[in-house]
Structure 1
């Protein structure tokens, strides 16, 4: 609004300083003068924007910023939701450690206190259930805690917190 007022004022001041005998149509002159001031102002804004964007060096800025975790977090949240909807706690734990982190069945046997063949069968059944369209369980879990534990497991190789979540869900016999 202030820019528009300034442009009208500039046009009027210019009109007052010009010889009125040279102007055939005052209304047309003022309209054209305000229009030209507006176009000049828009061009000036475009130049300022271009100069600013050139000075910011956007490619370097985007290289420094890391947005990849946003998509990863959303995808992991959705994947964990599917696991929680379709699999029971023991199946979910076995499947996640076997397929997600490539744990051997000997390790799964120790963690869940189940026979190796039973672990293998549970992972196979979990795969079959995930391929089906139906949801077997309702779930409510804190995806933030799971995501943080999963991130630590992937980044640092620290599985303790993730195992706490998984084993806590499946409640294995000790």
Structure 2
């Protein structure tokens, strides 16, 4: 906790590839003046309409940079992503009952999981390759309040 302000200062004044500038500089239009750079003096100060025009230009520039960064990140994901497609009736650990969209599937959930939304993104699904039906009682899975699975060892090999 003692170092949190320094961490925040460093983060806000570090270059971010997505916006190609530090967040502080993006917000205020100038580099942050830390004790190290108090001796530096800027040549001019912007006022009134110049300040508004300058900030508007910076906002447009940052939006364009964020769109470009988003596009780059999408291309990285698309290169590594294998297209998954399922059919109604395919077995995962649960059964697909409907195709909601190109990447969304509705699953048949057991009674114990009726509080969970039944539509899932394709990236969260994996095809069940087991030939025999394996039934795991839901009380052994024990999802907590945040729907994280709690694993408890059954026996120890040691």
- State the TM-score bracket (shorter-chain normalisation): 0.3 to 0.5
Q: Higher relative contact order by CA 8 Å / sep ≥ 6: 1 or 2?
A: 1
The two structures have a TM-score, normalised by structure 2, of: 0.33
Q: Could you state the TM-score of these two structures normalised by the residue count of structure 1?
A: 0.31
Greater per-residue helix proportion? 1
Structure of higher CA gyration radius: 1
